[in-house]
Amino acid sequence: MERNALFITFEGPEGAGKSTQIKLLRDHLTALGCRVVVTREPGGTPLAEDFRNIVKHYHGEEPLYPATELLLFEAARAQHVNHVIKPALENNSIVLCDRFTDSTVAYQGAGRSLDRAFLQELNRFATSGCLPDLTLLFDLPVEVGLARAQVRAAKVENHNDRLEEEKIDFHHRVRQAFLEIARAEPQRVKVLDATLKIEELFEQVKQQVENALQRV
Ligand code: T5A
């Protein structure tokens, strides 16, 4: 089935269940005959995955400063948009991207207290205006998401994650920032209750995506 290009991003606090829903949606859309590209931020290209490794797992003696962290996320994004997202959209694919620019506003803006207007400007620069048609915000209490992430982390040897390990206040600010973005852009950002069971949540995901496909 030939479909028009559609760019969908998945956002939310830690452990919200985005990756789980992306896999289900990829299989569903593929079965419908759509061309689907699944990707993530930070990452999505070999070079951007190198930046991901630093921002997620760096634990050296020299501090990784908030400005450095921000620029690494944006460098990864510029690489990713140009190398993967734009070509996929030009090829009429549906792009499912795990995190994008809203994560920068939430984590580096609200979490690290960096200037949000400046972050928006940097996001515009890194994406050269390539913005999502639809953003699904998986909202849940941060304690619930972190507990899920911890259960999963316990299964991985030598797990460390700089952002996941931030204080609980950091994660509360991140969640509130995501909800503010949704209130400011209700056309693009749809808030879903991520405490629902996987199957129930997926019904809502499909509904939102179907609505978006009818608009393009
Ligand atoms: N970041 C990212 C920034 O600070 N700035 C930026 O600009 C960008 C782009 C990325 C980190 O980088 C930060 C944010 C992040 O800290 P990541 O590993 O990609 O790191 O982290 P997350 O995106 O948070 O991914 P997670 O894998 O932690 O969470 P997901 O994908 O939301 O959740 P998922 O699907 O892996 O599920 C987590 C666990 O919960 C279970 C799953 O089985 C799994 O065990 N689960 C459910 N349990 C109950 N009910 C449900 N509905 C469930 N759905 C899944």
Span 87-108, mean pLDDT?
A: 98
Edge-to-edge, what's the strand order for the sheet holding 36-40?
36-40, 94-98, 6-11, 134-139, 189-193
3-state secondary structure at position 135:
strand
pLDDT of residue 117: 96
The answer to whether the pTM exceeds 0.75 is yes
Q: Is 103 in the pocket of ligand 1 (CB under 6 A)?
A: yes
The tally of CA atoms less than 13 A away on the side-chain side of residue 93 is 18
Q: Is 51 in the pocket of ligand 1 (CB under 6 A)?
A: no
Span 205-212, mean pLDDT?
A: 97
For 127-165, the pLDDT digits (tens) are 999 999 999 999 999 999 999 999 988 888 777 889 989
Type of residue at 59: H
Q: Is 54 in the pocket of ligand 1 (CB under 6 A)?
A: no
Q: Please tell me the residue having the least CA distance from ligand 1 atom 52.
A: 198
